Amino acid sequence: MQALFIGQTYIDVTFLADRIPVGDEKDVAREYAVSFGGNAVTAAFCCAKLGIRPDLIATCANDWLGRMFQDMVDRYDIELHIRKVARSSLSFVHPHQGQRAILRGRDAHYLHPFPLLDLTGCRVLHLDGHQPDAAIHYARHCREAGILTSLDGGAVRANTLDLLAFTDVAIVAERFCEQMGMGPGETLEYLKGRGCRIGGVTLGERGLYWYDETGTMRTLPALSVPASRVIDTSGAGDVFHGAYVYSYLNDPAKGWEEHFVFARAASAFKVQRLGNEAGLPTHDDIAAVMHEFTQRAASPPLAAAARA
């Protein structure tokens, strides 16, 4: 085992439509994609696509969607450790004008305890806050064992603030800041105060605001992907997480700015494709993105970002 990811499995149905039917109407989507979904789950698939086989503790049901998910896992050679639920979870994702609306059906009533794994050889744990009992168990264990723990703070969940005490790399979304009632700069100071060695806030087109091992505040502007090329932003953050985990595993001697630059290109590839599977990049895809797109103008200071 090199990396362990823990999350909630979804099957995502992503569709493009000019409008959503109401009442008794019917309509046909312009395009659609069916794929795996879930924050840490998608990150694990991204890591696998880039060339490092991860272990994944994820929910799975004994139904046709669950069997579909297991087929996807087999295709990517991911070592799946199932936590059984009665029904598969679904997400209906509607990307539109650079945003995405999501309607979910979720079964998070676990039928069994989380699996206890031997972490020999594991170098990274990546969490998204789902399966809170498993997340806190493995986060504590990895902290004691000196294993790097990464947290996708897409939102403040029931155990998120507890997990921060055992997190080395915490990259959170703008929604996290809003739920905490803080601006990006305040959030970074909060993460630093909780002991996170690396902290960051992703702000979409405004890039990444983060601090390094020395506590120095830094910015990483987004790549200049034209709006006409942006198809589906859903899953872009998950790909970002999976790519920096891969980059760290592949060469831990590199600095975190290099890991994030690699992940930024992976995320820029994702937004140009519909659905999570189509948006998983190869190394050649990432190199092509880095060659094609320049960096946007320097991001504004954190105080200005907070007012944006």
Examine residue 46 and state whether it is found in any structural domain, yes or no.
Answer: yes
CA gap 144, 138 in Å, rounded:
10
In a domain, 22, yes or no: no
Helix (H) or strand (E) holding 171: strand 169-173
User: Cα–Cα distance between 280 and 277 in angstroms, integer?
Assistant: 6
Per residue in 241-290, pLDDT tens? 999 999 999 999 999 999 999 999 999 999 999 999 999 999 999 999 99
Name the residue range of residue 279's domain: 3-17+29-105+112-307
Residues 6 or more apart whose Cβ sits within 8 Å of residue 98: 227, 230, 233
143, part of any domain: yes
CATH of the domain at 260: 3.40.1190.20
Bridge partner list, 264: none
Residue 23 falls inside a structural domain: no
Residue 90: inside a domain, yes or no? Answer: yes
pLDDT of residue 4: 98
Give the residue among 246, 226, 307, 232 at the shortest CA–CA distance from 277.
232
The residue assigned the tokens 């997400």 is: 91
Give the model's pLDDT for residue 306: 44
Structure confidence at residue 35 (pLDDT): 96
CA torsion, points 147, 153, 156, 157, in degrees to nearest 10? -50
Residues (pLDDT < 50) of the chain are: 304-308
Flag whether 237 is in a domain: yes
Ramachandran sector of residue 286 (left: φ over 0; alpha: ψ -120 to 50; beta: rest): alpha
CB–CB of 180/156 below 8 Å? Answer: yes
Is residue 284 a part of any domain in this protein? yes
> What pLDDT is recorded for position 299?
62
**Count of the separate structural domains present in the chain:** 1
> Do residues 127 and 150 lie in contact, with contact meaning Cβ atoms separated by under 8 Å?
yes
Residue 24 is assigned to a structural domain of this protein: no
pLDDT tens digit sequence for 29-64: 999 999 999 999 999 999 999 999 999 999 999 999
For residue 240, give the amino acid letter.
F
Least Cα distance to 115 among 160, 80, 162, 72 occurs for: 80
